[in-house]
Amino acid sequence: MRYVVLDTETTGLSPEQGHRVIEIGALELNDRQATGRTFHVYLNPDREVDAGALEVHGLSNEFLADKPRFESIANEFLDFIADAELIIHNAPFDIGFLNSELARLDKGKLAGYCSGVLDTLKQAREMHPGQRNNLDALCKRYEVDNSNRAYHGALLDAQLLAEVYLAMTRGQDSLIIEMAALTPRHLEQGAGPVELTVLRADADELAAHAAYLAAMSKEAGGEVGYW
């Protein structure tokens, strides 16, 4: 399976207010391994960067003044993500901005170029409800070194997110491997039924179990059993 881990930096918080993409960083994973292929570009947004955004990513108007515009790199970017599943943290934010950039060029929406989008923020919230799930918090939780992250940077954040994603989903690989290893031969076409050995509890074990349930019932203030 081919994935592209992607991040953007922008001039502000809302494309509806005319804010633009000023940095795109992406890297390719194939079968959960980094291939070494990356896409990284700074962009001239033809507008000023908001002060609040500048504090986050440190990309100044002066730095961006001589950078290419989105239209000049759009095809290269779309080729890089073509047919891949995108992995993005807080995907609606980045997708909204990239869709806005594509709309300016009459190129449709991002969904028309990739095979799907996986939002790691949504996934993290499901796995760790009630906890902080921003990228820094996830790096700490999964022991991913983010000590070089003085500012948000699209390629650096994509690299960190790739490590976090692989750590978050490592158990899924184990489950798949275990299921494959334990696939019973009796499920194969034409094989006969499997013979199961039933081990029944003896009298002492049954008595111990009954005493355990009685103690639980007393503590719970009502009968405890099977239901």
Enzyme catalytic residues: 152
Backbone torsions φ then ψ of 180, nearest 5 degrees:
-65, -40
Q: How many residues comprise the chain?
A: 227
Nearest C-alpha neighbor of 25 from the set 96, 98, 132, 92: 98
Task: Give me the DSSP letters along 66-110.
Answer: TSPPHHHHHHHHHHHHTTPEEEETTHHHHHHHHHHHHHHTT---G
Cβ atoms within 10 A of the Cβ of 174, count? 9
| Interatomic CA distance for residues 207 and 215, integer angstroms | 12
Backbone torsions φ then ψ of 115, nearest 5 degrees:
-90, -10
* 72 touches 61 (CB < 8 A): no
